[in-house]
Amino acid sequence: MAGKKFDYAPAPESRGIVDLQPAYGLFIGGEFVDPLDGRAFKTVSPATEEVLAEISEAGPRDVDRAVVAARRAYERVWSKLPARERGKYLFRIARILQERARELAVLESLDNGKPIRESRDVDIPLVAAWFFHYAGWADKLEYAGVSTASSGPPKPLGVAGQIIPWNFPLLMLAWKIAPALACGNTVVLKPAETTSLTALLFAEICQQADLPPGVVNIVTGAGETGSALVEHPGVDKIAFTGSTEVGKMIARSTAGTGKKVTLELGGKAANIVFDDAPVDQAVEGIVNGIFFNQGHVCCAGSRLLVQESAYDEVLTSLKRRLGTLRLGDPLDKNTDIGAINSPEQLGRIRELSDVGESEGAARWSPPCELPDKGFWFPPTIFTGVSQAHRIAREEIFGPVLSVLTFRTPAEAVEKANNTPYGLSAGVWTDKGSRILWMAGQLRAGVVWANTFNRFDPASPFGGYKESGFGREGGRHGLEAYLDV
Ligand code: NAD
C-alpha cells in the first residue's frame, strides 16, 4: 500500500506443511465415508481462486447416518464414560491441536483468506485454549453453579447438531465442540461450505486422539445440509452461529419440538471514543475492531462513535494508520488484510458500500492496489454517516467503518443502543467511573474497555435482541449443553 515508510520483503509462510487431498469424504462414525448421493463441490482459495479440494455434500440420508452414529456413541460409550475420562480426551485433542498448530494455521489461511499472522497468533491458540478450558470442566460440572432438577452432576442433552459460519472456521468449531463434549454430549457439526478444510483436519485429529467413533461427526455441505440437521428428529440440541436471517428460520423450525437452541447471530457494534482517551491506543483499537479478519467478525466495531471535540484528531490519526496497513497474500507474515472469503460476500460489501455513497456519506480508502485474482476489498471509512443510513444500521461484515459523532455520554449511549443488534461494544476513555457507567447502559453482551476483540475461553460471549440468545464460553457456556 502506498503511504508506508518503507517496503517489506515478502515473507511467505510455506504451504508445504499442509497435505491437501484432492477430495474429502464425510466424517461419520469415526471414519471418512463417501456421501450416499455422490454429490460434491469445490473449495477455493479466496486469495487466488485456485481450487484447493473437492468437498462432499451431505444429503438428508447422510445427515441421518451421522445422527444415528452420534446417538449410538452417546448411548453406548460417551455418556457411560467417567467424566474424568472425557476430560482426558479433550486434553489430548488440545495438545494435538498445539502440536499441529502451524499446519492448521496455514490451512485456515489458505481456505479462508485470513492473514497467517491472525490464524497463527489468534485463531489456533484460542482453539487450543478452548479445548484446554473445557477439558478442565468435564469432571467438575457439579461445581458449575447450574441448577438441575435431580441431585448429582448435571446431565447432558444427548446429540447436538452444530452449524457454524466461515469467518473463524476452526475457532467456531472449538466453541461448539469443546463444551458439548465436556458436558457428555456427542455432536454432528456442519462447517460453512466455503471453509470445510480445517474441520476435516480436525476430524483427523479426533482419529489421532483415539476419540471413540461417532462422538464427533462432521457433515459438509451448504444450507440444505444445515437445514436437514436442524430438522432431524434425532437431534436434542441445535447450536447455530451465523446470520440473523438463518437464525430466525431455525428458531421457527425448532419451535415446539423440544430441541434446546442457542443462536449466535450478527452484530453492529459501537466503538465509542471519548475525548480523554489516549488517541494512539484508541486508533489501534479502532483498526483492530473493524479491520481484524477483514471485518468478518460478528462483534466487529463497525460503528465508530467519536466525541465531537476529538473528531479531527482521531480521524487524522486513523487515516494515517490505515495508510500503513498491508493488503495481500494471506500467507505472507507481513500481511494485515487478507482476502474476502467469497465472491458472494464481496458482492454484499460492494453493494452496501455503494448504498452508503448514494445515501450521502463520504467514502475514503487509503491508496491501495488490489491483486488481480481473488476477492478483495480495500479498508474503507465512511464519514458524515447519520443514524438513518443503511451503513449505520445493517451489518456489512467487511472492512468498512461507519463514523458518527456525539457530544455527551448520554448521546453516545442512545446512539450505540439504537440498533436491532446487541452483541458487543467498546468504550475508550481515561475515566474508570465512566467505563462502569457506560457498561451498565450499553445493551450489548460484551463491553470492552480500552481494548477490543479480546477473547478468553473463561469469558462468556453472546448477544441481546437480534444478535441471538445463549452464551458461549466459560461456565455460562456449559448451560447450553446441560439439562438444566
Ligand atoms: P449464514 O447464516 O448464511 O451461514 C452460516 C451457516 O449456516 C453456514 O454453515 C451455512 O451453510 C448454514 N446455513 C445456511 N442456510 C441454512 C439453513 N437454512 N438451515 C441451516 N443452516 C443453514 O451466515 P454467513 O453469511 O455464513 O456468516 C456470517 C454471519 O454470521 C454474520 O451475520 C455474522 O455476524 C454471523 N456470525 C455470528 C457470530 C456470533 O458469535 N454471534 C460469529 C460469527 C459469525
Residue nearest to atom 19 of ligand 1 (CA): 227
Cα of 469 from ligand 1 centre, angstroms? 15
The model's pTM: 0.96
Is 369 annotated as catalytic? no
Question: Does residue 293 share a domain with residue 223?
Answer: no
Per residue of the chain (484 residues), what is the pLDDT tens digit? 444 556 789 999 999 999 999 999 999 999 999 999 999 999 999 999 999 999 999 999 999 999 999 999 999 999 999 999 999 999 999 999 999 999 999 999 999 999 999 999 999 999 999 999 999 999 999 998 887 767 778 999 999 999 999 999 999 999 999 999 999 999 999 999 999 999 999 999 999 999 999 999 999 999 999 999 999 999 999 999 999 999 999 999 999 999 999 999 999 999 999 999 999 999 999 999 999 999 999 999 999 999 999 999 999 999 999 999 999 999 999 999 999 999 999 999 999 999 999 999 999 999 999 999 999 999 999 999 999 999 999 999 999 999 999 999 999 999 999 999 999 999 999 999 999 999 999 999 999 999 999 999 999 999 888 888 889 999 999 999 999 8
Q: Residues with beta carbon inside 6 Å of ligand 1?
A: 163-167, 190, 192-193, 222-223, 226-227, 230, 241-243, 246, 249, 264-267, 298, 395, 397, 423, 468
The residue to mutate among 130, 162, 167, 263, having the most atoms of ligand 1 within 8 angstroms of its beta carbon, is: 167
**3-class state of residue 184 by DSSP:** coil
d(CA 129, CA 50): 32
Residue nearest to atom 8 of ligand 1 (CA): 192
Residue 461 is assigned to a structural domain of this protein: no
Residue 5 is assigned to a structural domain of this protein: no
Question: Would you give the DSSP letter of residue 370?
Answer: P
Question: Does residue 250 share a domain with residue 360?
Answer: no
List % helix, strand, coil for the chain (3-state, nearest 5): 40, 15, 40
- Which run of H or of E encompasses 324? none
Whichever domain contains 472, its CATH number is 3.40.605.10
Cα of 348 from ligand 1 centre, angstroms? 14
| Active-site position among 183, 206, 298, 368 | 298
Residue 36 is assigned to a structural domain of this protein: yes
Is 411 annotated as catalytic? no
Question: Does residue 178 share a domain with residue 312?
Answer: no
Pure H helices in 114-212 = 116-118, 124-137, 169-182, 197-208
Residue nearest to atom 40 of ligand 1 (CA): 264
Residues 6+ apart with CB under 8 A from 303: 268, 269, 270, 271, 392, 401, 402, 404, 416, 419
Handedness of CA 13, 16, 19, 24 (dihedral sign): positive
Q: Which atom of ligand 1 is nearest to the CA of 230?
A: 20
Cα of 432 from ligand 1 centre, angstroms? 36
Q: How many CB atoms lie within 10 A of CB 180?
A: 27
Cα of 249 from ligand 1 centre, angstroms? 11
Question: Would you give the DSSP letter of residue 212?
Answer: P
Question: Does residue 191 share a domain with residue 118?
Answer: yes
Residue nearest to atom 30 of ligand 1 (CA): 242
Question: Does residue 311 share a domain with residue 189?
Answer: no
Residue 381 is assigned to a structural domain of this protein: yes
The residue to mutate among 57, 123, 126, 163, having the most atoms of ligand 1 within 8 angstroms of its beta carbon, is: 163
Question: Does residue 475 share a domain with residue 405?
Answer: no
Q: How many CB atoms lie within 10 A of CB 10?
A: 12
Cα of 167 from ligand 1 centre, angstroms? 9
Burial status of residue 321 (CB atoms within 10 A of its CB: 0-12, 13-18, 19 or more): middle
- Which run of H or of E encompasses 239? strand 237-241
Question: Does residue 184 share a domain with residue 89?
Answer: yes
Residue 3 is assigned to a structural domain of this protein: no
| Active-site position among 13, 57, 108, 264 | 264
Question: Does residue 353 share a domain with residue 215?
Answer: no
Cα of 450 from ligand 1 centre, angstroms? 29
d(CA 345, CA 325): 21
Question: Does residue 357 share a domain with residue 224?
Answer: no
Q: Which atom of ligand 1 is nearest to the CA of 245?
A: 2
Residue nearest to atom 6 of ligand 1 (CA): 165
- pLDDT at residue 484 in the model: 87
Question: Does residue 474 share a domain with residue 444?
Answer: no
Residue nearest to atom 16 of ligand 1 (CA): 223
CA 326 to chain centre: 23
| DSSP letters for 21-49 | -SEE-EEETTEEE--TT--EEEEE-TTT-
Residues 6+ apart with CB under 8 A from 292: 118, 300, 453
Cα of 95 from ligand 1 centre, angstroms? 29
- pLDDT at residue 6 in the model: 67
Q: Which atom of ligand 1 is nearest to the CA of 461?
A: 40
Residue 32 is assigned to a structural domain of this protein: yes
Question: Does residue 276 share a domain with residue 253?
Answer: no
Enumerate the β-bridge partners of residue 160.
187, 237
- pLDDT at residue 145 in the model: 87
Residue type present at position 95: R
Q: What angle do CA 83, 84, 86 make, to 5 degrees?
A: 65
For 147, the domain range is: 15-265+467-479
Cell of 438: 457506560
Residue type present at position 113: G
Question: Does residue 229 share a domain with residue 318?
Answer: no
Cα of 242 from ligand 1 centre, angstroms? 2
Residue 7 is assigned to a structural domain of this protein: no
Whichever domain contains 376, its CATH number is 3.40.309.10
Structural Rg of the chain based on CA atoms: 22
The residue to mutate among 162, 164, 243, 262, having the most atoms of ligand 1 within 8 angstroms of its beta carbon, is: 243
Residue 87 is assigned to a structural domain of this protein: yes
Q: Which atom of ligand 1 is nearest to the CA of 191?
A: 9
Q: How many domains does the chain have?
A: 2
Q: Which atom of ligand 1 is nearest to the CA of 229?
A: 20
Cell of 400: 468498512
- pLDDT at residue 340 in the model: 98
**φ and ψ at 159, to 5 degrees?**
-100, 125
